Structure 1
Amino acid sequence: MFPLYDTIPSIRKPFVNIMIIIVNVIVFAYELMISSMDWSGEVLEGFFRTFGFVPEKMFYAFPIVAMFTHMFVHGGWSHIIGNMWFLKIFGDNVEDAMGHFKFFIFYITGGLFALFFHVIFNPFSPYPLVGASGAISAVMGAYFVLFYYSRIVSLVFLILPFIVEIPAFIYLPYWFIIQVLNGLLADVTGTGVAYWAHAGGFIYGVIVGMRVRKKRYWY
């Protein structure tokens, strides 16, 4: 189920959400520039290992900077396009609910919590964690709590592709369960996707979303 758009328009211009997308695109453009001049791939690999978060580094040189920079580095076209598309769909409404500054703080802390969750399950991993998906998962978790009544217009592939409106209170928990199941499977088979970061980010978003909803009387 690939989301196309949701049924709730944003009230205010989502300046922070747009800014985050722009920063991610700029960083990815820089990666493409490095790649175009780096035939061996060593420079780009060094970039990922410097600005991505490598869990095993915690035991000899805790990468504080990478805790933040990993959220703005992506591993390829499908990686960044998918992440930015999800952020575009779900981020504007959550920014509406929280306000610009609080949304920015929430986004960053959501990415940090997702990173923490990933490290719990992969403490000795030598592979750099990159991508905004952990922080975006937090946005999706908050969206689930604050806008459960929304509908997610999605492209579904069965025998033929078709478009269907799926209630957010079905779409988002289903997405979360898939991340957990894939995380359990990845623990056995191994994969390049940080499913536990997705799950952790979503949990954080639900917790924060519940506090926002209670404080602002969202129904």
Structure 2
Amino acid sequence: MFLPLHDRNAIRHIRFPYVNYGLIAITTLCFLLQSVLPPATFDQATINFGMIPIVVRDVYPQPLPWLPDWATLLTYQFLHVNWLHLLSNMLFLWVFGDNIEDALGHAKFLLFYLACGVCAALAHLVFNLNDNGPLIGASGAVAGVMGAYILLYPHARVFVLARIVIPIPLPVPAFWMLGFWVATQLFYVLIGSEEPVAWWAHLGGFVTGVVLAAGLKRRDVALLGGR
């Protein structure tokens, strides 16, 4: 219902968010490589590098013997199902990631992003212990960025494309836009939605982002800012 377009929240501590843009570029490149694969090879790549709960738990052997079971907690973050899946994740990262990199610093932001993705996968695993399907996508890591943003910049104005009658751009506080997103994830978890969406991964990444951002932020970055 709400698609972020851009925010009014200038960066103050860094000249250029090259880690954020680098993650977008690498993730996009990975999908471009996926997209040229034949369908069968594409599917096999998601099995090899996606996070499969029964493989990480060592119930079933890793499809690639040379790849450690835990490694897919990282590799799954750079694979996507289709262009819509990729572009939606990268749009959110583009809008919100630069400010979180600014608030944490380059190195901390990279570790933060990957850690959110790992914890998102573990949350998915905990609630899907016997699942044999691969989890792929940057959604969990991006949810962590969103969690950090709502903690650090809840009052920042985000221009969103709101579909009420017709799509129109509206400026809304980040708290309302991201809060609506969290409420949506909780709603689908509570009703037991069977859509092929990793709701628990989203929530796990979001909570991880809130917790890590509080400890990793620069000292002069206030909580609940963005006015």
Q: TM-score, normalised by structure 1?
A: 0.92
Name the residue aligned to 1:10.
11
Matched, 1:113 2:126: no
1:86 CA displacement: 0.5
Name the residue aligned to 1:196.
200
Q: Deviations over 1:24-78 (max 9, x none)?
A: 01111110111xxx2xx22111100001111122223362221110000010000
Match of 2:212 among 188, 208, 211: 208
CA contact (8 A) 2:51 2:136 kept: yes
| Number of residue-to-residue matches in the alignment | 212
Name the residue aligned to 1:149.
155
Tell me how far apart the structure 2 counterparts of residues 56 and 127 of structure 1 sit (CA, whole Å).
9
Matched, 1:98 2:101: no
Residue 172 of structure 2 aligns to a residue in which SS? strand
Q: CA RMSD in A?
A: 1.5
1:157 CA displacement: 0.7
Which residue identity is paired with 1:47? A
Residue 177 of structure 2 aligns to a residue in which SS? helix
CA contact (8 A) 1:141 1:203 kept: yes
CA contact (8 A) 1:153 1:166 kept: yes
Which residue identity is paired with 1:42? A
1:214 CA displacement: 8.1
1:122-201 aligned at under 5 Å gives the runs 122-185=128-191, 187=192, 189-201=193-205
CA contact (8 A) 1:6 1:153 kept: yes
Q: TM-score, normalised by structure 2?
A: 0.88
CA contact (8 A) 1:118 1:196 kept: yes
Tell me how far apart the structure 1 counterparts of residues 147 and 164 of structure 2 sit (CA, whole Å).
27
Residue 199 of structure 1 aligns to a residue in which SS? helix
- Which sections of structure 2, spanning at least 5 residues, go unmatched? 63-68
Structure 1, 198-207 or 55-64: larger mean CA deviation: 55-64
Q: Percent identity?
A: 34
Tell me how far apart the structure 2 counterparts of residues 60 and 90 of structure 1 sit (CA, whole Å).
37
Structure 1, 166-175 or 106-115: larger mean CA deviation: 166-175
Name the residue aligned to 2:66.
none
1:217 CA displacement: 4.6
Regions of 4+ moved over 6 Å: none
- Which sections of structure 1, spanning at least 5 residues, go unmatched? none
Call closer, same or farther: CA 1:15–1:217 in 2, change over 3 Å. closer
Residue 152 of structure 1 aligns to a residue in which SS? strand
Tell me how far apart the structure 1 counterparts of residues 122 and 179 of structure 2 sit (CA, whole Å).
21
